[in-house]
Amino acid sequence: MKSLTVGDLEDCLLNKVDLRRQQISQAVEEVQKVVHHLTTNISSQDIRFQVVPYSETYNENIKVLAPSQFLVTVPVKGLAGYREAREQRWRYYTLHGTRLPCPLRDPEGLQQWLEVEQFMKSLWQWHETDVNIDGDIVPAKVLLVFRKLVENAIRTCHLSGKVSMLGNRSAVWVAVETSAYPVEVELVPAVEIPTAWSEKARWPRCLQRWPSQERVECIKSFGFNLLACSSYHWQLSFFRAEQVLLEQLDDDGGCRRKCFQVMRQLKEDVWCPGIRPVITSHHLQTVLFWTCEKYPHFKDWQVFSKAFLRLVRKLHKCASQHFLKHYFVRNSNLFQCTNPIELDAVAQKVSTFLKNPQISPP
C-alpha cells in the first residue's frame, strides 16, 4: 500500500481517471446512438415526445450516474410558456380514475404538481385522458404511454438483441449492450423550462460567496426541467445549471475538479462499486458544490492533499448522517430514499480511508 501524498494519489488515480474517461466516452457514444434511434421512432409514433439529438461532443440529455448507470432525459413537445401555479387546490383522484375520500398528499422537496393550464401554449394531446386527470399532467400516466412506445420502438428498430426492457420498475429502464459492458439506462420524459427559475430553488443563499453573482445569473438563465419519475408529482431537475457550475469550477487555477475526479474514482473502485451504487456521481457532485460554497477562495484549493481530504470528510459526514441537501433546493434530502444499510457500509469504508489514507498500487 502507498501512503497518501500528492504525487502518489494524483499519479495513480488520475491515470485511472483518464482510462475511465475513455471507457465512459465509448459507452456514451454507443448508448446515445441507440437512444437517438429509439426516440426517432417514438417521436414518429407520438408527437408529444421529441428526438434525443445525437452529439459528437457533450450531450446534455445524458447523465452518467455510474459507469454502468445512465439517466437520459427525453424532452417532451407541445408545452410552452411555463408559469408557476398561483392557486392551491386539493386532488382527490387516483391513477385509475376513482375518487378518494381524502386528498392526495402535497408534493415535498424536489416535487411539484403540473397543470396543463400552467403553459400559455399546449398541444391538444396533453389534454387527453391518457396523460391528464382533472387538468393535471400526471407523470405515472405519461410513463405508461412512454413505456409502450419504447417497447414498440425496440421491436420496430430491430434492437431486441442489443436493448431489453428492465421490468419490475415504475420508471422506464432499458439495458443496453455496449462493446465493453452492459449499461442500465433510465429513460425519463422531461418538460424543459429554459425561460424560468423554479420558486422552490431559493438560490443563491444570503451572503454566499461562491459562485460569483455574475456566474449565478448565468446559471439561473439555463432554467430547469421537470422529470416524470413518480406517480403524481413531477421532480425538479437542474442538470444544465449543474453542468455550467462544473465546467467553470477552476477558472482561478484551483484543483476542485481534480479532487472530484479522484474522489469519484475511489468511490467507484473501493467505497461504492457496482452497477447500481447507493451513491452516484450526482451525489458526489452535490458534495463538491457544498464544499466549494463553504470554501470559496482560491487558497482553499491550492494544495491537492488538503483539499481532497476536506472533500472526503464532507462525503463521510453526509453518508454517516444519511443526509445530503440538494444544492439548489435545500429542503430536499438526496439520501431520503436510499438504503440506510448500504449508506452505512459506504460511510464505514470512507471512515477507514480517512483514518489511514492509502491506495493500492495500480
What residue has cell string 444544465?
Answer: 240
* pLDDT category of residue 362 using cuts at 50, 70 and 90: very low
* pLDDT category of residue 168 using cuts at 50, 70 and 90: confident
Q: In this structure, are 259 and 228 located in the same domain?
A: no
Among residues 207, 238, 269, the one where a domain terminates is 238
Q: In this structure, are 85 and 224 located in the same domain?
A: yes
Rounded to 10 degrees, the C-alpha dihedral 54/198/338/293 comes to: 90
Q: In this structure, are 165 and 111 located in the same domain?
A: yes
Identity of residue 28: V
What confidence score (pLDDT) does residue 6 get? 47
The answer to the question of residue 53 being in a domain is yes
Q: In this structure, are 177 and 55 located in the same domain?
A: yes
The pLDDT of 109-138, averaged and rounded, is 97
Q: In this structure, are 282 and 173 located in the same domain?
A: no
Q: In this structure, are 301 and 227 located in the same domain?
A: no
The answer to the question of residue 131 being in a domain is yes
The pLDDT of 107-116, averaged and rounded, is 95
Distances 59 to 38, 239, 282 between C-alpha atoms, Å: 16, 11, 16
Domains: count for the chain? 2
Q: In this structure, are 50 and 84 located in the same domain?
A: yes
What confidence score (pLDDT) does residue 88 get? 86
The pLDDT of 326-335, averaged and rounded, is 96
Query: Can you read off the three cell numbers belonging to residue 113?
Result: 404538481
The pTM of this model reads 0.94
Domain of 291 in residue numbering reads as 249-356
Q: In this structure, are 213 and 254 located in the same domain?
A: no
